[in-house]
Structure 1
Amino acid sequence: MEKKYQSTRNKTIQFSASQAILSGLSPDGGLFVLPNLDDVNLDVSTVLDKDYQEIASLVINQFFNEFSENDIKKCVKEAYTNTFSDEKITPLKKVGDDYVLELFHGSTCSFKDVALSLLPKLVNLSAKTQHNTNKRLILTATSGDTGKAALEGFKNDPLVDMIVYYPNNGVSTIQEKQMQTQDGGNVSVVSINGNFDDAQSNVKRLFHDEELVALLKDHHIEFSSANSVNIGRLIPQVVYYFASYAELVNMDEIKLGEKIDYIVPTGNFGNILAGYYAQQMGLPINKLICASNENNVLYDFLKTGEYDTNREFKKTSSPSMDILISSNLERMLFHLSGGDAGYVADLMTQLKTTGKFKISDELLKTIQETFGTGYATDKQVAEQIDKVYNEKGYLLDPHTAVASYVLENSPEKKEKTVILSTASPYKFVQEVSKDIPDLAIDSAQDEFKLIDELEEKTNVYAPSQLKDLKHAPILHNQVIDIDEMKDIIIKQVGE
């Protein structure tokens, strides 16, 4: 039977997988979910002898059985053939007594590449399935990594135009240059005077702006999304949980069926939610530990049950996690409240009107059975980068260092643990260079000199795609106020 997706806020809104992928957001502002996760399952023993592409095909087929197995295999093959610098796509490295799952071997050196290599294929397959010949205008807000990965995935796609909004002075220098130098005749990159939450909230609002929707309709264009609010972006992230577990078994590090923990640096809650989906499919996961930076709204929520965004927004050394409104938390609330769409809708209304909500003690207890939490300050992140390099010879980026610190200081640590490493340290080369004093690197110098010097002194590979940015021309340098985001769309559609 074909699986249907419904809104987290209204059980009567139900879309097919292809409709949900094309729409991105539900018409009521909710997110698309499978109402019953019992409908997806995967026997872990069956993936032990599979490579990444084979595991991906099995996982994707469980969620998107509207598509044929051959079509899914074709999408997966196109996404993961000769597109990652490591043949394992997401290799697992043992660091001390724990393990680091490296998710940054794609074209933009970020974990977002894993899903955004596949999403464009799924979007085009969905359009073909729906016999939908309209063009798609993909709006994306980014805290640093999604933007470049999405741009790279969709560039020069004749069926897609894309606008990426990112916070001015809110991403690393390398992240910004990655976006500013993006080629492709169908992409636009715009910096906003505001933070990521401003960008994300306004993108969601623009999806339902009646004037814009009518304008797009006149031009045979429809909105879509590349953020993890799009179910087609989220589900491919489930794959590397299965792949990493299989690798641990194959390495004789664990026995089949043994439970392990995953610790995930997260701001928008998508990466860790993918782990929850893997657990619900049958992966033996004990705890999913949410690691936050100083914007620790998720930490407070998972401890107290109160989600309160009425606090200072902090710019940290881990900018991709500088988020106060975590979109995918809505999906988790839906699933763990027993699929109570009315309850979720009420919570989201409270969040929109007051900036906060509080869940019941019973629901909090249920959440805490699966999700642990911790956070790290910038000072602790810097110390962790230095400590792990000097003691274990491993170079962490600041986001992975958040997770590493939380793991090392977690009273909940009982099982073998995998740290999800979300970005190459060279994307944050100034911070990393500064945080390891023994290397004696002048972190104030040009980023590209820093890349060369850090590579030379650590013998840790610097990705060529980051080194090559040095000579890439700036193609996008527009800075706007938040209330001008709509004008950018009107201008692009009219051209």
Structure 2
Amino acid sequence: MIGYLDTRSFLDDPVPFSEALLQGIAPGGGLFVPERLPTLTLTEIEALAGLPYRERAADVFRRFEFDMPYERIEAITRQAYGENFDHPEVAPVRAVGTNRFALELWHGPTLAFKDMALQCMPLFFSEALEMTRSRGHREADFLVLVATSGDTGVAALTGFANRLHIKIAVCYPAGGVSPIQQRQMITQPGDNLNVFAVKGDFDACQSTVKAVFAHESFAAELLAEYGLELSSANSINWGRLVPQIVYYISAYADLVARGVRALGDPIDVCVPTGNFGNILAAHYAKRMGTPIARLLCAANANNVLADFLESGVYEIAGRRLVKTASPSMDILISSNLERLLYETAHDGLLVQQWMDDLRLRGRFRLETDMFARLREDLIGDWVDNETCLQTIGRVHRDLGYLIDPHTAVAWETADRHSGDLPMLVVSPAHWSKFPADVLRGLSGLPADQPLEGDDFELLEKVEQLAPGNPAPPVVREMLSRPVRFKEQVAGDRESLEDALRNWLSRGD
């Protein structure tokens, strides 16, 4: 069985998958990582093309040696990747232009790539919880606490809604998500959930949530007063990352099956990047045997990752978060980078030092040899707001393909760095989640141009400019739902803990 250690060498012994999943964050504040990665041969990857997506996922999960019966894994993937996705291939690869392919990850119920993990992870979470309860190892229920820059929140709410023995609270930066993203969250049905707007940007929101996780006396209070343990559904939880590895392996198998590549010939992959989870999944897929040559890390104006991949210095001191047309990437502290640092250094104490330097000084620097190893296959670049919107218009005009702002950041980056290899561009969200900026892009308007009309009207205007690209019915249905959650809290640990206490005490 593959066990899980932590990135800061706090654990003496590895824990099984179920425990890493339920805990979310490792003791000591680090992140769980597998002792070793399984591998697939080229023949095994090729064979996946003959399977439906749910069976591809089950096959990859089997190789991670989860501590649960394989028939339960198969049942979970059947439920996770079924009629809740509007495309039979679940994560289809679409040819767009010459030697360019879009990996569409927005066919799930909330129209974003987070569904690829969060339709699956809550089922594994419930399975792991029932396993430990039935064995007498755990009596408490769970409070899943989530910080979101937009898409994770609604995907987590949808995945965990009405699950037995689980409550979920989502925190988003007030004014820091798109109106559609906010509306998805604050109208979400379910009897076991709550949503809080946190004053400040996403980094403040995420730091506040992490501070709650690190507050041992609050954890003790939750257990004593409410019978709850804390866990996370952010990509800091290993249970979020494993399902994301699948679609990179799956995409390569599809390209081989179509004859785009001969088996074993590599491709390049370009990923719009904020918290570093999605591109890290591509990195793991490569390490497991998927023939990927270059990984392009595409950032927006919050380009701390692009700068880091150029210089080896990760620095947030003196930087201010910039609000962009791609709000899910408006992040300066990329949590999952810690896993890549551990994979590169294999030294938890050194990772701890880097994380301490970042927390105390706002920066850390990699040694020259370490930096050279880390960026062997990684390229970083960034795209400003105006260029992002122009790319939306250009891609639709030239290729007849309508993309959202996050995809546009990756598309422009891919254009700058295209070579001889096929380029797989990750498309993480449907355009209808960002109608205002898509409309600006199609109309050639500047990023700060005010627009008239409500969300319904903006959707209709985009549909008129880009016929054949209707907004999915779920968007208009969501816009007609009543608002349920209006609470705003200050961006500090004490305020969020008070808000959680008040909610849990009400029992709603």
Q: With structure 1 as the length reference, what TM-score do the two structures score? A: 0.96
Counterpart in 1 of 2:461? 453
Any conservation in 1 of the 2:410–2:425 contact (CA below 8 Å)? Answer: yes
Q: Distance in 2 between matches of 1:466 and 1:371?
A: 36
**Which of 149, 163, 166 pairs up with 1:143?**
149
Counterpart in 2 of 1:463? 472
Any conservation in 2 of the 1:107–1:113 contact (CA below 8 Å)? Answer: yes
Matched, 1:234 2:241: yes
**Which of 257, 260, 264 pairs up with 2:264?**
257
**Which of 87, 94, 99 pairs up with 2:101?**
99
Q: Distance in 1 between matches of 2:212 and 2:362?
A: 19
Counterpart in 1 of 2:356? 349
Any conservation in 2 of the 1:27–1:208 contact (CA below 8 Å)? Answer: no
Counterpart in 2 of 1:30? 30
Counterpart in 2 of 1:4? 3
> Bigger shift: 205-214 or 26-35?
205-214
Counterpart in 2 of 1:333? 341
Q: Distance in 1 between matches of 2:329 and 2:350?
A: 27
Any conservation in 2 of the 1:110–1:422 contact (CA below 8 Å)? Answer: yes
Counterpart in 2 of 1:51? 52
Matched, 1:192 2:198: yes
Counterpart in 1 of 2:329? 321
The aligned amino acid for 2:102 is: V
Once the two structures are TM-superposed, the CA of residue 127 in structure 1 deviates from its matched residue by 1.2
Q: Distance in 1 between matches of 2:51 and 2:435?
A: 35
Once the two structures are TM-superposed, the CA of residue 432 in structure 1 deviates from its matched residue by 0.5
DSSP 3-state at the match of 2:271: strand
Once the two structures are TM-superposed, the CA of residue 442 in structure 1 deviates from its matched residue by 9.0
Unpaired stretches in structure 2, ≥5 consecutive residues: none
Any conservation in 2 of the 1:55–1:239 contact (CA below 8 Å)? Answer: yes
Counterpart in 1 of 2:500? 489
Matched, 1:211 2:217: yes
Task: Go from structure 1 to structure 2 and tell me whether the alpha carbon gap of 1:66 and 1:149 turns closer, same or farther (over 3 Å shift).
Answer: same
Q: Distance in 2 between matches of 1:268 and 1:211?
A: 28
The aligned amino acid for 1:381 is: C
Counterpart in 2 of 1:15? 15
Once the two structures are TM-superposed, the CA of residue 443 in structure 1 deviates from its matched residue by 3.8
Any conservation in 2 of the 1:180–1:477 contact (CA below 8 Å)? Answer: yes
Counterpart in 2 of 1:291? 298
Q: Distance in 2 between matches of 1:336 and 1:238?
A: 18
Matched, 1:129 2:137: no
- Alpha-carbon displacement from aligned partner over 1:197-245 (angstroms, at most 9, x marks no partner): 1111121111121221111211321101100000001110011111111
- Alpha-carbon displacement from aligned partner over 1:432-490 (angstroms, at most 9, x marks no partner): 00111279x99421111121232233121311111212311011111111121111122
Q: Distance in 1 between matches of 2:234 and 2:431?
A: 23
**Which of 189, 195, 199 pairs up with 1:183?**
189
> Bigger shift: 397-406 or 362-371?
362-371
The aligned amino acid for 1:238 is: I
Any conservation in 1 of the 2:442–2:465 contact (CA below 8 Å)? Answer: no
Counterpart in 2 of 1:82? 83
Any conservation in 2 of the 1:433–1:443 contact (CA below 8 Å)? Answer: no
The aligned amino acid for 2:336 is: N
Counterpart in 1 of 2:279? 272
Q: Distance in 2 between matches of 1:287 and 1:135?
A: 43
DSSP 3-state at the match of 2:15: strand
The aligned amino acid for 2:497 is: K
CA RMSD of aligned residues (A): 1.6
Once the two structures are TM-superposed, the CA of residue 326 in structure 1 deviates from its matched residue by 0.4
The alignment of Structure 1 onto Structure 2 pairs a total of residues equal to 491
The aligned amino acid for 2:328 is: S
Task: Go from structure 1 to structure 2 and tell me whether the alpha carbon gap of 1:201 and 1:446 turns closer, same or farther (over 3 Å shift).
Answer: same
Q: Distance in 2 between matches of 1:149 and 1:444?
A: 29
Q: Distance in 1 between matches of 2:119 and 2:309?
A: 31
Once the two structures are TM-superposed, the CA of residue 414 in structure 1 deviates from its matched residue by 3.8
Q: Distance in 2 between matches of 1:481 and 1:205?
A: 13
Once the two structures are TM-superposed, the CA of residue 172 in structure 1 deviates from its matched residue by 0.5
Q: Distance in 1 between matches of 2:288 and 2:405?
A: 31
DSSP 3-state at the match of 1:233: helix
Once the two structures are TM-superposed, the CA of residue 13 in structure 1 deviates from its matched residue by 5.2
**Which of 164, 169, 173 pairs up with 1:163?**
169
Once the two structures are TM-superposed, the CA of residue 247 in structure 1 deviates from its matched residue by 1.1
> Bigger shift: 128-137 or 387-396?
128-137
Q: Distance in 1 between matches of 2:430 and 2:439?
A: 13
Any conservation in 2 of the 1:289–1:371 contact (CA below 8 Å)? Answer: yes
Sequence identity percentage = 38
